[in-house]
Amino acid sequence: MSKAIKSRIVQVGNSQGIRIPKTMLEQSGIKENIEIEVRDNQIVITAASKARVGWSEAFAQMVIDGDELEPLAVTDNWDETEWVW
């Protein structure tokens, strides 16, 4: 575990921010987007989760399990036979 450091809250436009030392960012592995939340009166910063992570594996497992997916498009001819202008 890294050593705690003291820092200041600084003005950043109309917001406030903190400076995080490069070595701490390197130790955390955080490189780009982050998620910030308050837990038990603490501000917790984590790497942002990536969208759709694990989707390929989940769909592959659905095929193995025989789960059916909803059709992506309607395949009947309702628009041609039932629609009246």
pLDDT of res. 10: 93
Residue 2 confidence (pLDDT): 63
Residue 16: CB atoms within 10 A of its CB come to: 10
Q: What is the mean pLDDT for each group of 10 consecutive residues in the chain (85 residues)?
A: 82 92 89 92 89 81 78 63 66
CATH number of the domain located at residue range(s) 1-69 in this protein: 2.10.260.10
For the chain, domain boundaries? 1-69
